[in-house]
Amino acid sequence: MTDDGDYDLGLHHWETLKALRTPARLPATSLLLLADLVALGLATVSGDLPAMTPQGRKVLIRGSFRLLDAAA
């Protein structure tokens, strides 16, 4: 992770971050990935409901620079 917003997230982390766009609960398989996203400051848990942070929204919108490089 660097200050320019490049997060080295795996495919399952991206999918978990995308799943946080809706208020539905995450599947149990995503709970370990959610802990990683919380540690990075991309998600938060209030009570038992996960949510995306403003930084998480930015990262999701911009995507990873590595993903953009892979698509090129």
Q: Is residue 29 part of a domain?
A: yes
Q: Is residue 51 part of a domain?
A: yes
Q: Is residue 2 part of a domain?
A: no
Q: Is residue 3 part of a domain?
A: no
Residue 38: pLDDT band by 50, 70, 90 thresholds? very high
Domain that holds residue 21: 11-71
Q: What is the average per-residue pLDDT within 26-35?
A: 82
Residue 36: pLDDT band by 50, 70, 90 thresholds? very high
Q: What is the DSSP string of 3-69?
A: TTS-----HHHHHHHHHTTSSSPPPGGGHHHHHHHHHTTSEEEETTEEEE-HHHHHHHHH--HHHHH
Q: What is the pLDDT of residue 2?
A: 46
Q: Is residue 27 part of a domain?
A: yes
Residue 6 has pLDDT above 80, yes or no: no
Q: Is residue 25 part of a domain?
A: yes
Q: What is the pLDDT of residue 1?
A: 43
Number of folded domains that form the chain: 1
